[in-house]
Each structure stands twice: as C-alpha cells, then as structure tokens.
Amino acid sequence: MTAGAGARVATSPLVVDGLSAGYGDTQVLWDVSLRVDPGEIVALIGSNGAGKSTLLGALSGVVSVWGGTVRYGDRVLTGEEPDRIVRAGLVQVPQGRRLFGSLSVEDNLLMGAYLRRDSEVRSDLERILTLLPRLRERIDYLAGRLSGGEQQQVAIGRALMARPQVLLIDEMSLGLAPVLVDHLIELLAQINKTGVSILIVEQDVQTALEVSSRAYVLETGRITLSGPSGQLLDDPQVKKAYLGV
C-alpha cells in the first residue's frame, strides 16, 4: 500500500493538552497530556479500568470532554462530532472490532469509506486487499464467521478505508493467540511505513512497548510516567506493575 492509497501521510502532531473526560457525572480522566508526532507509533499502557479506552473515545468524539484541548496540526478537535474528526484524519479501530457480522467482509471494509465520495474508493479497497491477502480470500464471507485474527484485520482495513493520518487502535491483541498478535504487529509496521501515525492502547505491555517508539503510562485516569519505550521496558516500576518481573 502506498501513501495516499488507503492512508494519508501524517504531516502534523496530535497534541492532547490537559484533557479531562468522563461519562455522566463520573470523571474518568484528569489532566491528560500526550503527543504523537508525524510518523510515530506511540503506546498508551495501563491496567484494566485505567481510562485508556475512555481517552481514545474522547479523541474520537464519542466521550464527553470536560476540559483541555485536542489539536491536530492547527485544528482544534475538542468537542467536534465524530464524523468531522474522521474527516480531519483521526480514525479509531475500536476494542472488540465492532464489525457488522451479518455483512460480508467487502461490505464491512466499504463501511470505512462511508464519508467519502471520491472515485478512489475501489482502488483503495484493492490496495488494502493487497496489504491483507487473507481478506481477499474471504471477501464474500460474512464477517461474523471469521476468526478473531481475521476480524481484527477487517477492523484495521475498515479504518484504512477512511484514509487516516492517525490511527487510534484500542486493544488490538485482546483475545488473540500470540502468533496472530505477531502478525498484526508486522501489519502495523507496514502501515506506519506509509506515513500514518499510530496511537496504540494495549493491556499487553510487552507488545505495546516493543512496537512503539515512545509510551505513556495511564493509572486511574492520570499519566504517571512517559518516555522512550525501551527505557520504560527497563523501568523497575513498569516491570513490577505490568511485566511481572
């Protein structure tokens, strides 16, 4: 897949500054700040309930932001509707895939282009199927009949059909065998080489730190640690809390 085919090269940083967010009367995030520079893979790690998925929801416009700002380049995305955020270049691959199980693989992929009206949708689909050859073999299958790894590929392919500049990936490895996770990591590396920035949320800390260049640790809704991923892999606090060392 070439840059501009199923993807747009990220030319601006994604900057989150002092973000607070929650559901109803319940606050989940407090004063969260992070940055994803163009072409970076950045990881957000933390235990269950730390607020990782809430943060991605806030960036995607589906969780209420209580304070702070989200900027992509010179555009403030705080409080924007989800469709406008997608048009700006931020596209989420949600936890649990959230496919239309009764629709074909092809129809699920095309759902990712629902905001587009350009003539390149079909050519983008072809390039994504070249990137994901297993899906070409399964193109007419119902998505609900696929394996977990295949469904995750559909979810990623669907996001690519929106031509993202920044992919927000939530718990990619959840419920998958290690060999499938390794394949998906290779896939992310290929996507990143086309110029797409990636913010990956992962409970599998080892995987997250190995695939990323920088990382943030989120605990009970607050960023408690950040730095180069290799440095965090060797951090005694991270080893004890997340790696069982």
Q: What are 1-40's pLDDT values in tens digits?
A: 444 445 578 878 999 999 999 999 999 999 999 999 999 9
**What is the model's pLDDT at position 1?**
42
- In this structure, of 81-95, 104-118, 207-221, the range with the lowest mean pLDDT score is 104-118
**What is the model's pLDDT at position 6?**
53
Confidence of residue 120 (pLDDT cuts 50, 70, 90): confident
Q: What topology does CATH give the domain 14-243?
A: Rossmann fold (3.40.50)
- Cα separation, 107 vs 101, whole angstroms: 10
The one-letter amino acid at 174: L
Q: Which two tokens stand for residue 58?
A: 């806030």
The one-letter amino acid at 106: E
- Cα separation, 234 vs 230, whole angstroms: 7
- Cα separation, 218 vs 56, whole angstroms: 12
Which stretches of 194-241 are DSSP H helices? Answer: 205-211, 229-233, 236-238
Q: Is a pLDDT exceeding 70 seen at residue 152?
A: yes
**Alpha-carbon dihedral sign for residues 182, 163, 21, 100:** negative
| Model pLDDT for residues 54-67, shown as the tens digit of each residue | 999 999 999 999 99
15 burial class (0-12, 13-18, 19+ CB within 10 angstroms)?
A: middle
Share of the chain above pLDDT 90, in %: 69
Q: Is a pLDDT exceeding 70 seen at residue 189?
A: yes
- Cα separation, 154 vs 66, whole angstroms: 33
Q: What is the largest CA-CA distance in the chain?
A: 53
Mean pLDDT of 83-94: 94
Instruction: List the chain domain ranges.
Output: 14-243
- Residues 121/3, Cβ–Cβ less than 8 Å: no
Nearest to 6 by CA among 128, 133, 89: 128
Q: Is a pLDDT exceeding 60 seen at residue 223?
A: yes
Q: Is a pLDDT exceeding 60 seen at residue 42?
A: yes
